[in-house]
Chains A and B, each alone.
Chain A
C-alpha cells in the first residue's frame, strides 16, 4: 500500500517534470520552484498593493514588479533571444579576480581548480539530498510543537527525533537530548519563561524545579501556604 502510494507519487512528479521540461525547455529543478514562489509572491504583493494609499504603494509596487519581471525572465530564459539570454543566465565576473584564477589554474591540477571555482561562486555539493529535507521537515515539526506544547519540551523532542534519524548511538543521543533540554531550561530561567508556553494553545506544562535553585523552589512551595 505504502509502496504503491509512493510509486504513484513518484510517477506523478516525474510526469510533472516531463511537462515542465517541455514548457521550460530544460529539466525542472528546485530552482524553478524557487522562481515560481518568487513570481507568485511578487504578483500577489503587487496586486495587494492596490489597497494602499498612493504613497504607501509606490515601494511595494516597484519591488514586487521587479520581482515578477526578473523571476519571469529567469523562468523563460530558454525562450529569450540570444543577446538578452546571455545577460540573464550567464555568470558575469565583476570583480577582476579572473586573472588570478586563470593564473592559478594554469599551474594546478584539475581537482583544486574545481574547488576554487566552487569557492568563488559559493556553491557546493549535496551528497545526500535527504539530509536537507529531513532537517527542513524536523524544523517544521519543531515549530508546530513550539506553538502547541511550548519550546521547553519541544526542544528535547526535536533533538531526539534528529538523533534517531542520524543514527546516533544511544549514550551520545541521550547526552545530546539532555544538554538540549538544559539549554532550553537556561533560556526559561534567564531569558524568558514564555518558552514554556505553547503560544497557540496557551498550554503550560509543569516545569521541573531544581533543588539547587532554592528561591524558585521556595517561592513555588510557599506560594500556596503563605
Chain B
C-alpha cells in the first residue's frame, strides 16, 4: 500500500472502523468511474533486487506513464513468495493493488506446503510480462557440452552429485523428474541455499552440475569455469542461443521448469480495471527502453494479455498435478533426510 492510497482507502473505504465520519469529504476514487484516479501498488513477493523485483522496477515507470498515475512497488517478501501472496489475498479488490506471481512456482509451493487459508485459483488474472526458467549448469572441467554427455557422465559414474535449490523447492521435484524420465542417473541430489548456493557449488565443484535460472546462469558463466549445457524451458534463451534442449530427450518440462511473471489481482477485482492495468503493462513491456534493458540484462520480456494469462493460471495447477505425484514427492523428501 502507498501513502496516497492509504489516505483514500484508509479513510474512505475503511468505514468498518467507524471512522468514516471523520473523512466525509473524501471518497473512494473508484466510485466516480474513472480508473485509475489514484496511485497503484505493485506487490512483489520477493525482496528488492531479486529476479522478480527487477522486472517490476523496469516496467513500473513506463506503465505509470501509460496509466497517468504513479505505481509504487511494495516488497512483501518471505516464505518463498507465499507470504506476499497471502498478503495480496487480503487486499481490497478495487484494482489499486496487484502483484506479480511466478506461475507455476507459487502454485507448486502452495501445493507442497498444503496451505489452506487461500487458493491460487481465486486470484484474478491481469497480464504476464516476462518468462524465466531453468537450465542445467556444469563445471567446465568435465568438458560436457550437452545433455547427452551429461547423462552419460552420470551413467558411467564419472559424476555423482547434482545440486538443486532447496528441499521442497520446484528444482527439487525437477531433479527427480530428470532421473525418472530423462535418465539423468545422479546418485546424490544435494540441496544448496537457493540459486546463488547452486552457482557457488558448481563453480567450486562441490557438485559437478546443478539447476540454475537462465538469468543467474549468465552470471555464473561470466565468472568463468561454468557452462550452461541444457535448457529445461521451451522458450528460446537469447543469452544461450546454441544451448541444447531437454525436449530433444523427452517431453517438455515447461509445466514446472518455465515460469511466467503473471500479474494477478486480489479475488473479486473487476475485469475492467484489470484490463486497464494490462494495457499499461503492454505499453511498458513493448517499449524501446524495455527492449534495450532486455538485451543488456538477458531477462526475457514477453507480454501476454488478460485472456492468455487466465488460461495459464487455470492450467498451471492441473498440469502440475497431472505430471507430478505430490504424495510420492513428499515421501521422497521424508525418506531422503533419514
Interface residues, chain A, with chain B CB atoms under 8 Å away:
53-56, 188-189, 193-194, 196-197, 201-207, 209, 215-216, 219-226
Contacts and interface: CB of A to CB of B under 8 A. Distances in A.
Given A54-B337, A204-B11, A226 B1 contact: no
Nearest to A203: B17
Contacts of B14: 202-204
A197 B19 CA distance: 13
Interface stretch (B29-37, B149-157, B297-305): B29-37
A202 B92 CA distance: 13
A201 B19 CA distance: 13
A221 B23 CA distance: 11
B292 interface: no
B337 A56 contact: yes
A206 B11 CA distance: 6
A201 B4 CA distance: 21
A215 B7 CA distance: 12
B3 A216 contact: yes
B247 interface: no
B242 interface: no
Interface residues of B, number: 30
Contacts of A188: 3
Contacts, number: 80
B22 A216 contact: no
Given A219-B39, A223-B4, A224-B25, 5 more contacts: A53-B337, A55-B337, A197-B10, A203-B14, A216-B3
Contacts of B25: 224
A55 B338 contact: yes
27 contacts: A189-B3, A193-B1, A193-B2, A193-B3, A194-B1, A197-B6, A201-B17, A203-B14, A204-B19, A206-B19, A206-B23, A207-B7, A207-B10, A209-B7, A215-B4, A216-B7, A219-B4, A222-B37, A223-B8, A223-B26, A223-B27, A223-B37, A223-B38, A224-B26, A224-B29, A226-B29, A226-B37
A223 B8 CA distance: 7
The SS class assigned to the A binding surface is helix
- Across the A-B interface, the 3 shortest Cβ-Cβ residue pairs: A55-B337, A224-B27, A204-B10
Interface of B: 1-4, 6-12, 14, 16-17, 19, 22-23, 25-29, 32, 34, 37-39, 334, 337-338
A193 B9 CA distance: 12
Contacts of A225: 27, 32
A194 B6 CA distance: 9
Nearest to A209: B7
B7 A223 contact: yes
Contact of A226 (B2, B7, B12, B34): B34
Contact of A220 (B2, B7, B17, B337): B7
Contacts of B39: 219
Given A55-B338, A224-B29, A206 B3 contact: no
B337 A216 contact: no
Nearest to B33: A226
Contacts of B29: 223-224, 226
A213 to B, nearest CB: 9
A216 B70 CA distance: 12
Which of A215, A223, A224: most chain B CB closer than 10 A? Answer: A223
Contacts of B26: 220-221, 223-224
A43 to B, nearest CB: 25
B199 to A, nearest CB: 25
Contacts of B9: 204
Contacts of A201: 17
A193 B27 contact: no
Nearest to B336: A55
